[in-house]
Amino acid sequence: MNSELLKKNEELEQFTYIASHDLQEPLRKLSAFSGLLKKDVGKDLNSRAEKDLEYIIDASQRMQALIQDLLSLSRAGRMALASERIDLNELIQEVKVSFKEEIEQSGTDFKTVDCPAVHADPVLLKQVFQNLIHNAFKFNNKEKPIIEISCTKKNDQTIFGVKDNGIGIKPEYMEQIFIPFKRLHGRYEYPGTGIGLSICKKIVEQHDGQIWVESKIDEYSHFKFTLNAKEN
């Protein structure tokens, strides 16, 4: 039963990869040629036709972003897992530097603690922190945003945390947000494609860990995850 399931899962992964990979080519054409059409005849179009063309361009760009994300999701599950000793403090500093602009613009108080070294896949682990921290910036309207990274030891296991003081998540959505493309807001309110957390979940589960969120609406979201990775 288990091996049947594994096989089915692999087939599904393969299908997602091929489908998203092959969809990219015609979409690129659609996007490029609608852009050219705008350049060639844009000035001669009446305002309704101009708007219609804008919709086509916008939709094809969004579809490209979705397909890119679908590919990233399927890649996250297909890549062989590396296991290296990672200085987590260094990794978190690197991620922090990549958000320098966001920190400065929003005046975020970005707090970190001393974290242990772990054995895990460095590229994938970095992506988990990057996605969670990106969301912590995005879903926060507070005047004084706070992001706190934590590593807490519990029963021989380290729980890694990314906490914000943002908009929070209602209890009924706390599991659903990890499903691909599940979003709780319109794209005009908060941009995004709804794939970041499902990539985090996939990566964490590849490391035999778990990911979940604790939250209070309008107060905070605290994403936590474990890795079944050796420390030191």
- Asked if 204 is part of the footprint of ligand ADP (rule: CB under 6 A), the reply reads no
CA distance 73 to 101: 26
CB of 194 to ligand ADP, least distance (A): 4
- Asked if 108 is part of the footprint of ligand ADP (rule: CB under 6 A), the reply reads no
What does DSSP assign to residue 182?
A: -
Q: Which amino acid is at 24?
A: Q
Say how many residues make up the chain: 232
Outline where the chain has alpha helix (H): 2-41, 47-78, 88-98, 100-106, 122-138, 196-206
- By the 10 Å C-beta count (0-12 exposed, 13-18 middle, 19+ buried), 15 is classed as exposed
CA distance 103 to 97: 9
Beta-ladder partners of 213: 223
CA distance 207 to 202: 9
- Asked if 145 is part of the footprint of ligand ADP (rule: CB under 6 A), the reply reads no
- Asked if 57 is part of the footprint of ligand ADP (rule: CB under 6 A), the reply reads no
- Asked if 196 is part of the footprint of ligand ADP (rule: CB under 6 A), the reply reads yes
Select the residue interacting with ligand ADP from 117, 194, 212, 231 (CB under 6 A): 194
CB of 213 to ligand ADP, least distance (A): 8
Q: Rank residues 30 and 66 by Cβ distance to ligand ADP and give the closer one.
A: 66
- Asked if 167 is part of the footprint of ligand ADP (rule: CB under 6 A), the reply reads yes
Q: Which residue is nearest to ligand ADP (CB)?
A: 192
CB of 110 to ligand ADP, least distance (A): 14
CA-nearest of 124, 18, 49, 132 to 81 is 124
CB of 64 to ligand ADP, least distance (A): 15
- By the 10 Å C-beta count (0-12 exposed, 13-18 middle, 19+ buried), 58 is classed as exposed
Among the listed ranges 35-43, 109-117, 181-189, 204-212, the one in contact with ligand ADP (CB under 6 A) is 181-189
Q: What are the C-alpha distances in Å from 191 to residues 5, 21, 84, 182, 220?
A: 35, 23, 34, 13, 20
Among the listed ranges 28-36, 85-93, 119-127, 130-138, the one in contact with ligand ADP (CB under 6 A) is 130-138
Q: How many residues belong to the site for ligand ADP (CB under 6 A)? A: 21
Among the listed ranges 24-32, 95-103, 180-188, 202-210, the one in contact with ligand ADP (CB under 6 A) is 180-188
Residues binding ligand ADP (CB under 6 A): 131, 135-136, 139, 164, 166-167, 169, 177, 182-185, 192-198, 221
